[in-house]
Amino acid sequence: MSSLKNKRQRAILITVLAVVLLAGVVLLGFILDEEKIATHLDNRNSPPSLEHLFGTDWLGRDMFTRTMMGLSLSMGVGLAGALGSTMIAAFLGMIAATMGRAADAIVSWLIDLFLSVPHLVTLILISFSLGGGAKGIIVGIALTHWPSLSRVIRAEMMQIRSAEYVQVSRRMGRPGWWIAAKHIFPHILPQLLVGFLLMFPHAILHEAAVTFLGMGLSPHQPAIGIILSESMKYLSSGLWWLAFFPGLSLLFAVRLFDVIGGNLRLFTDPSKTHEE
């Protein structure tokens, strides 16, 4: 019992620390002086130092400021895309569980169809067809990242709808949408939250990947994908910090989201807690 309590306390501490660090990144993205990402040719290609923690690029722009702003932008895009994808997953899961066998068969077919195609490829196609930019990336993420979560939500709803209190409501003549809203949805809310948090890092990485390929955010925006793409042609000149620190920061932010989602899953799934 003491061991379980210590695990939960440690998980809470790590989760709070991860949230604080991510909040700090977002805050830095808003409060850092934009003058630091202006062109300063007299200070270009400077290696990391106390004045410029991540060094400067070929135009003299401070890489720490660009990286923090890029992470904030990527997190904003990931937030919008993951939120849209979570809403789609919840909607389709509820339809599959409450609207009969025909609806369930259609939703299952849609899930299998989208899972059969790598969603990064679909994301690129959607983003390209919408002209790229933040809108194309957000819509692409929302339309491609829902299948796995939708399958989990559907399975969870199938179990809940067979519960006795749900059967009583159905025999009392309650409509399907009422049962879904009052009985089913409150029980799947923790799964939706965990799914959303675990989807977040995938959304951020895929946004960076599509932007890196030139079909995402505008080159004028300080996005991580743009920073990494631009730095590739300078690596052979020994300017390693242009890609190293932005890439490491991106992986660090993604890992923090994974930690938060994993710990939250421990709190919402008691059996998982005992397994750990």
Give the other-Cβ count within 10 Å of 167's Cβ: 12
Two tokens, residue 269? 């799934």
- Average pLDDT value for the chain: 82
The CATH number linked to 89 is 1.10.3720.10
- 203-256 tens-digit pLDDT: 888 888 888 877 777 777 778 888 888 888 888 788 888 889 998 998 888 888
For the whole model, what pTM was predicted?
A: 0.79
**pLDDT confidence of residue 3:** 61
Q: Looking at the domain assignment, is residue 119 inside a domain? A: yes
Q: Looking at the domain assignment, is residue 101 inside a domain? A: yes
Q: Looking at the domain assignment, is residue 197 inside a domain? A: yes
Q: Looking at the domain assignment, is residue 38 inside a domain? A: no
Number of structural domains in the chain: 1
Q: Looking at the domain assignment, is residue 57 inside a domain? A: yes
- State which of 37-46, 141-150, 178-187, 259-268 shows the largest mean pLDDT: 141-150
**pLDDT confidence of residue 275:** 46
Q: Looking at the domain assignment, is residue 256 inside a domain? A: yes
Of the CA atoms within 13 Å of residue 148, those in its CB half-sphere come to: 12
Beta strands per DSSP E along 12-159: none
DSSP line for 213-224: TTSSS-TTS--H
Q: Looking at the domain assignment, is residue 215 inside a domain? A: yes
Q: Looking at the domain assignment, is residue 41 inside a domain? A: no
Domain range for 104 is 2-33+53-275
More confident site: 83 or 101: 83
